[in-house]
Amino acid sequence: MAVVLKEFQVSTKGFTDVIDVTDNVRRALSQSKVQNGLVTVSVAGSTAAVSTIEFESGVVQDLRDAIERMAPVDIAYKHDLRWHDGNGFAHVRAAMIGSSFSVPLHSGDLVLGTWQQIVLLDFDNRPRSRRVFVQIIGE
Ligand code: ZN
């Protein structure tokens, strides 16, 4: 049994920037000798999230629109009253989507659908550099 932690960095524009990180995850995997097990992709920070989607511009925009309806930018957030950093919407969005995504690892590759990618979502109200972790557990 092996437990391996890899890391990569992603520069984002914020404001619900959605970035395909599937190749980054596969690169991290190829640096480990683990063939079968479980892979968890996790972002450090409370205004970003990791999820999965078909990475094509139509549905990515549909997701961004749905998130805007769930936690609009232009309403009052108590977080902003407290900290005045103006990103209350980003914290709420990140909590709703979640900060990690787990996927089985089989014969050295991620068990994903043909049209299924792993995405990093950055909700903050400014560009960020994000640390994304790939935890590989298996043999
Ligand atoms: Zn904040």
For each of the domains in the chain, give its residue range(s) and CATH number, in order of start.
2-138 (2.60.120.460)
At 80 the pLDDT is 95
At 47 the pLDDT is 98
For residue range 98-118, list pLDDT tens digits in order.
Answer: 999 999 999 999 999 999 999
Distance from the alpha carbon of residue 44 to the mean position of ligand 1, in angstroms:
14
Distance from the alpha carbon of residue 69 to the mean position of ligand 1, in angstroms:
20
DSSP letter string over 72-129? -TTS--HHHHHH--S-HHHHHHHHHH-SEEEEEEETTEE---TT-EEEEEE-SSS-EE
At 128 the pLDDT is 98
Q: What is the mean pLDDT of residues 39-66?
A: 98
Distance from the alpha carbon of residue 25 to the mean position of ligand 1, in angstroms:
28
The residues that bridge with 14 in the sheet, in sequence order, are none
Distance from the alpha carbon of residue 107 to the mean position of ligand 1, in angstroms:
41
For residue range 18-34, list pLDDT tens digits in order.
Answer: 999 999 999 999 999 99
At 14 the pLDDT is 97
